[in-house]
Structure 1
């Protein structure tokens, strides 16, 4: 290269500038990110609590359509409906509004509102237009949060928001009481039966009862509940008793409560108190009677008409009741008397407090039996034939003492008035039957035949006398009679008068005819008596039937 070759000019230094950190292009994704985040936050914050409710069937329930209501206000909707794993029920997922989370707590109840028609209520008819919905009844205030529930198939009789007294009733049988049956106090409806269920462990039926708040004070410690469903007909020693409840109670069942007569009401009770539900009002009244001793009474007469729970009375006052009738209480082989087990409160037999001071029941009863206390069976009702046990003091009773028969003490018994009368009548009839009536009737018949023969002979004699008198009268009236001496005429006239006295118009014949008529009447009366005795032997005791009604003969 020559020295004259020129050197290239130096390269220019590049001008570096910092790149821009923000570009308008990024505005769109940033905005999209913000909107997406806001939507996520909004979705999370706007989503309400979810609860799962198990129902037997999903009839009328549709996801995203069926509403959840509380007091007729929409509080959520059905989110999803699935079949349970056991294939025996359905799982309904409910989504409530966010501000209604407090409704999901322990004790909350759910049920499907559909059209329902029963003997006691008609409800849910509006769902024929709006469709079925799920009703929510919140649990007790302050309960802990809960999200798993078992739905009811039937709506409760009352909602928890209604203030009142909630009680539990127990009974040996269900009867006709159902959920919704009314509860009455003196014929006025004051509450309802909310639910019933079978207690398998105790073999009893339990009811959840609700009494409205304004009537809650009527339920006290000594209150008794009894069933008033249907017509109550009772035939006992007191005769017939018929009680008819209201028409609604007869159709749908019902219960009544009250305090037995002569018992103090006591203090009001709290929620959850348990009461026994008696079968009828008489059982509820008898529940206040608490006998303290049991006795065995041995009767040598029939006990037909005596039943369990028959009253035991002392001069018209009930002091006990019949507990059982069984031969098991008398183990003596040769004793054919019928044992009757009774429950008695001996304090009701004591006339005053002085009589009971310092004496036990056994001592008192021992002295009472010594003073003539005896038991007997008496008829309480001639219409029903029901018997009851009567305790009373007798002046000269049959010998007896207060002893024990098996494991129970025993009070001596005597025959009742009807039993004694029956025995006396039987004895009289036996004596009448033992009389020789057949021989007597034969003798009376023979006497009647002889009397008839005598009457016929007497009539013949009278006829002959009449003929003789007529002949004598003809002789006296003849001309030849005038030619006879005066003494002879006087004698014949006297004879004619004597004969005339027994003639048709004579006094002797009249007396004889009257005697025959009386004899004939006596024979007719005797025949009538024999016929009456033959047809009805007891007519000598009770007289003839004067009712005029004919009695057909066999």
Structure 2
């Protein structure tokens, strides 16, 4: 009986150690609240398999239980429902009063969203990443989801893949081919026209060199004449300066004489004005003399008329 009891205790101990190891190192947590949910992706889910981790900002909060395909023959749309088991107790909501453990539905109402990201570039495996994104619209699929649904959003890798898929590669290829054809045509045209162009440039260069040589010879020939002309101009300028210097005194004397003459003319005008003034005595005397001269002229005219009628008056005189 002691041996059987010892064997029984050993067996019970082994079972206990196995259960403890399964609880500690496995995904079985008998005392943790577990909840199931589904994430529905519209598109490919390459690399996602059963057992893939579900993380929240790098912290694992669950695992993938099942990946199925939902296909609608009428719309030809394929959806990938991913069923997961989560431990929401790992996430708490904080308010002003106390902490409380939310349900998955509570987390979704707070803006919980899921996306599929590549876990390893080497193995190509993927995982589900959760995060709060209340600005992202919650697109639900009530006709597909049988559990609490966590809305999904497009990951950066999926957005990049979709962008690459939407690129018009055929149009880009056609444009590249057209560009290469244009470059080839331009190259052929340059090959044909380049020798002629080079020959024309060479001829133009030779002609320009001849013109430069001719201009150099002309400048060399005209240089002595230009120097002689410049020397003559210098001598003329010097002579002009000397003439101006020599005639400066004469011009000054001429200007002084002109000023004196103008002053005398002004004085004469003043005298004439004073003589011709109505109240001037000289004018009165002049007018009296003019009257006397006029009377004398009238007497002479009368005497001349008498002499003309009787010439003897010159001998006998008037009686």
TM bucket normalised to smaller: 0.5 to 0.7
The CA deviation at 1:403 is 4.1
CA RMSD of the aligned region, Å?
4.3
The CA deviation at 1:160 is 5.6
**Alpha-carbon displacement from aligned partner over 1:115-157 (angstroms, at most 9, x marks no partner):** xxxxxxxxxxxxxxxxxxxxxxxxx15xxxxxxxxxxxxxxxx
Q: Given the two structures, how large is their TM-score scaled by the length of structure 1?
A: 0.33
2:210 is aligned, of 453, 467, 471, to 467
Instruction: Give the 5 Å matches for 1:515-530.
Output: none
Partner residue, 2:310: none
More relative contact order in 1 or in 2 (CA 8 Å, sep 6+)? 2
1:391 is aligned, of 130, 133, 145, to 130
User: Does 1:167 find its partner at 2:11?
Assistant: yes
1:343 is aligned, of 85, 91, 97, to 85
Partner residue, 2:51: 309
**Alpha-carbon displacement from aligned partner over 1:148-176 (angstroms, at most 9, x marks no partner):** xxxxxxxxxxx66978832259xxxxxxx
- In 2: Cα distance, 1:455 partner to 1:446 partner: 19
The CA deviation at 1:324 is 1.1
Summarize the Cα distance change of 1:162–1:411 in structure 2 as closer, same or farther, 3 Å threshold: closer
- In 1: Cα distance, 2:132 partner to 2:198 partner: 65
SS of the equivalent of 1:405 reads: coil
- In 1: Cα distance, 2:94 partner to 2:9 partner: 43
1:320 is aligned, of 62, 73, 83, to 62
SS of the equivalent of 1:377 reads: strand
**Alpha-carbon displacement from aligned partner over 1:488-533 (angstroms, at most 9, x marks no partner):** x99xxxxxxxxxxxxxxxxxxxxxxxxxxxxxxxxxxxxxxxxxxx
**Alpha-carbon displacement from aligned partner over 1:50-105 (angstroms, at most 9, x marks no partner):** xxxxxxxxxxxxxxxxxxxxxxxxxxxxxxxxxxxxxxxxxxxxxxxxxxxxxxxx
- In 2: Cα distance, 1:166 partner to 1:310 partner: 36
Structure with higher strand content: 1
Instruction: Give the 5 Å matches for 1:527-538.
Output: none
Partner residue, 1:287: 28
Partner residue, 2:116: 377
Summarize the Cα distance change of 1:402–1:446 in structure 2 as closer, same or farther, 3 Å threshold: closer
Structure with higher helix content: 2
- In 2: Cα distance, 1:423 partner to 1:466 partner: 65
Asked if the contact 2:71–2:79 (Cα under 8 Å) also holds between the matched residues in 1, the reply is no
Summarize the Cα distance change of 1:372–1:430 in structure 2 as closer, same or farther, 3 Å threshold: farther
Summarize the Cα distance change of 1:288–1:323 in structure 2 as closer, same or farther, 3 Å threshold: same
Q: Given the two structures, how large is their TM-score scaled by the length of structure 2?
A: 0.53
- In 1: Cα distance, 2:56 partner to 2:186 partner: 60
The CA deviation at 1:380 is 1.8
Unaligned ranges ≥5, structure 1? 1-139, 142-158, 170-208, 211-218, 226-258, 261-283, 491-554
- In 1: Cα distance, 2:210 partner to 2:186 partner: 30
Could you say which structure has the larger radius of gyration?
Answer: 2
- In 1: Cα distance, 2:138 partner to 2:56 partner: 20
Summarize the Cα distance change of 1:336–1:438 in structure 2 as closer, same or farther, 3 Å threshold: same
Instruction: Give the 5 Å matches for 1:126-165.
Output: 140=1, 165=9
Summarize the Cα distance change of 1:161–1:308 in structure 2 as closer, same or farther, 3 Å threshold: closer
2:153 is aligned, of 398, 410, 414, to 414
- In 2: Cα distance, 1:292 partner to 1:161 partner: 38
Unaligned ranges ≥5, structure 2? 230-319
The CA deviation at 1:390 is 1.1
- In 2: Cα distance, 1:399 partner to 1:340 partner: 17
